[in-house]
Amino acid sequence: MCGRSISGHSNNYIVQYAGDMAGELRGIEVWIHDQAEASQTHNKGFYGIPQPGGSLKLDLMEAIYLAETGRLEVLSEGQKTHPADLLRLAHRSSEGFEIRYLVYRELRQRGYIVKLGRPPLDFRVFPRGGSPNKTPSKWWVAAISERSTFDLGALLANLDHTSDVRKKLMLGVVDEESDVTYYEVRRVTPKGKVGAVDFTSQVEGVIMADRALVNDDQGARSLHSGHFFGKQIGPMLQLSLIEAAFLVELGVLKLKDAKSNRSVTLASLKKRARALQPDFDLRLSAFKDMKGRGLIVKTGFKYGSHFRAYEGDPGRQHARYLVHAVPEKYSTMWPEVSRAVRLAHGVKKEILLGRVTEREVEYVSLSRYRP
């Protein structure tokens, strides 16, 4: 294979495949004029856009990949250069090009046909064996640096865009060693098998520092059976502050202060809880929504999340979801998201971000994906 070259002193460059085929780089587009070579290049991988007269127009992403894989040569004034010079040219003309190129390259190496998408999404990816003219694209892909901010609002906007045209949204996150990790993003409607909370009699309990205690044996059994509120400690039942607030609001639980023996209202209980847990209201909103969906909800602390959610009896099945309650305008760094997804995958659960808004709680699933 011959070397390759590009001159930085002109907007037009000569592009040449191995053999006699020549083309021309005009700005950030490569034109292959030889009809036979243009047809062969397009038919073997659907690179470029065929033009009237038989020529082929390649975008710079395609041209760099073809040059890197030895199927394209770039000459300027008879001098040969490396594909890295084309990458530098692209970097100067388009911010973040190198991140997008690494995702494009990786998907092409996996055997997929990849075409540029419409911003803010970067690529349309077609299933193996398909073609842009005959087969609908399978995924719309966003290429992201691990150093970028994870913005849930922007992510959901992209998800809405892909859902409107019945595509799947896939994120290609590039780490500092240029490896790509893929995530599939979906909206999820979790649903359990437990009916609404309905107790005929009120249960009494006491509030301690960061939990409530029900010491009535019959009351403890009524709260724990069916909905599995709290944890049984012998004949007693210990409830989390979120469970206690939920049950007090329903009128099922009546609390007194363990020290003063004075009644504790829902407002004072929430005030205590916020002092211990500033995001208590956010978590409580997600908890109430999941209970309304028939799920059994327990703490997710041991798994690094707010909750773990069961579709049925926790004694007979594992939690399906790990749920993290987040505000409407939630953002974080990608390593935090990667850690949460990896941990959930390691314990065979699905991580959900429960986005709490004034109107509803919507659930977003992120899962590792191998295309």
Q: Using CA atoms, how far apart are residues 122 and 106, in angstroms rounded to an integer?
A: 14
182 as an active site residue: the answer is: no
250-309 pLDDT per residue, tens: 999 999 999 999 999 999 999 999 999 999 999 999 999 999 999 999 999 999 999 999
CATH of the domain at 46: 3.40.1170.20
Q: Is residue 6 part of a domain?
A: yes
Residues 191, 254, 318, 329: which is the catalytic one? Answer: 318
Looking at residue 204, its pLDDT comes to 93
Q: Is residue 155 part of a domain?
A: no
Q: Is residue 308 part of a domain?
A: no
Q: E strand or H helix at 103, and its extent?
A: helix 97-109
Q: Is residue 189 part of a domain?
A: no
Which of 59, 94, 129 is the last residue in one of the domains? 94
Structural domain harbouring 206:
195-277
310 as an active site residue: the answer is: yes
Q: Is residue 360 part of a domain?
A: no
Which of 259, 277, 295 is the last residue in one of the domains? 277
Q: Is residue 68 part of a domain?
A: yes
Statement: residue 21 has pLDDT above 80: no
183-241 pLDDT per residue, tens: 999 999 999 988 776 677 789 999 999 999 999 888 888 888 878 999 999 889 999 99
Which of 70, 94, 118 is the last residue in one of the domains? 94
Looking at residue 4, its pLDDT comes to 37
Instruction: Please state the domain count of the chain.
Output: 2
Q: Is residue 17 part of a domain?
A: yes
Average pLDDT, the chain: 89
Looking at residue 16, its pLDDT comes to 45
SS3 286: helix
The one-letter amino acid code at 164 reads D
Phi, psi of 272 (to 5 degrees): -60, -45
Q: Is residue 356 part of a domain?
A: no
As a residue count, the chain comes to 371
254 as an active site residue: the answer is: no
Residues of the chain above pLDDT 70, percent: 91
Q: Using CA atoms, how far apart are residues 87 and 306, in angstroms rounded to an integer?
A: 44
- C-alpha dihedral over 151, 152, 158, 161, to 10 degrees? -150
Residues 17, 101, 303, 310: which is the catalytic one? Answer: 310
